[in-house]
């Protein structure tokens, strides 16, 4: 496994699966000899330029692209029969996601729902716009302040993450 900020391996020897972001494109450019990839899977294909994509392919490379938002070029390739597609029309994993917008008057109902979900062993993600506590005109709670409050309510069951944590810390937290 390779995470952001880590040095990539010197070669792909013994690594049959390579997973990453567009950084892979730049890393592969520096490899000598250039490795031949048997299969390239690109998720969110609209975020990868045509030249970037082509730089990953050799004549023997199989390409699988996935996206929920195809770019016009990709749609044209499919429409004119240049590219074959498979459509997934059902969710491969059943999800029960519910989104609600609440105002401050709904706080009691929200807390009751969160407590019920925690009792059922479900996971909850709460997003806060600030990382650290500080002075603000419109007193907005930081993720650090909120995490302390949630930990008091649900001891040992709360983790918090923000962009300043090291990759290993984020990975450990998410695994926990």
Asked if 65 contacts 78 with a C-beta cutoff of 8 angstroms, the reply is no
Render pLDDT for 47-93 as a digit per residue (tens, 0 to 9). 778 888 888 888 888 888 777 777 787 788 888 988 877 777 787 77
Report the candidate in 46, 90, 99 with the shortest Cα–Cα distance to residue 68.
46
Render pLDDT for 120-136 as a digit per residue (tens, 0 to 9). 888 887 877 776 766 55
Tell whether the torsion through CA atoms of 101, 107, 112 and 118 is positive or negative: positive
Query: Can you point out the beta strands (E) in the chain?
Result: 39-43, 62-66
Those residues with Cβ within 8 angstroms of residue 137's Cβ, 6 or more apart along the chain or in another chain: none
Tell whether the torsion through CA atoms of 17, 18, 19 and 22 is positive or negative: negative
């Amino acid at each position: 496994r390779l995470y952001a900020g880590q040095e990539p391996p010197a070669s792909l020897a013994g690594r049959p699966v390579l997973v990453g972001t567009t950084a892979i494109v730049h890393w592969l450019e520096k490899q000598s000899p250039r490795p031949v990839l048997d299969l390239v899977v690109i998720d969110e294909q609209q975020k990868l330029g045509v030249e970037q994509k082509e730089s990953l392919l050799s004549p023997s490379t199989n390409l699988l692209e996935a996206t929920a938002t195809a770019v016009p070029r990709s749609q044209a390739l499919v429409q004119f029969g240049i590219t074959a597609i498979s459509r997934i029309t059902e969710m491969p994993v059943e999800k029960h996601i519910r989104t609600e917008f609440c105002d401050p008057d709904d706080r009691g109902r929200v807390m009751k729902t969160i407590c019920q979900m925690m009792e059922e062993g479900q996971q909850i993600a709460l997003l806060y716009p600030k990382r650290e506590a500080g002075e603000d005109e419109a007193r907005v709670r930081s993720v650090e302040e909120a995490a302390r409050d949630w930990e008091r309510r649900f001891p040992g069951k709360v983790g918090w993450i923000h962009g300043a944590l090291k990759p290993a810390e984020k990975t450990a937290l998410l695994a926990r």
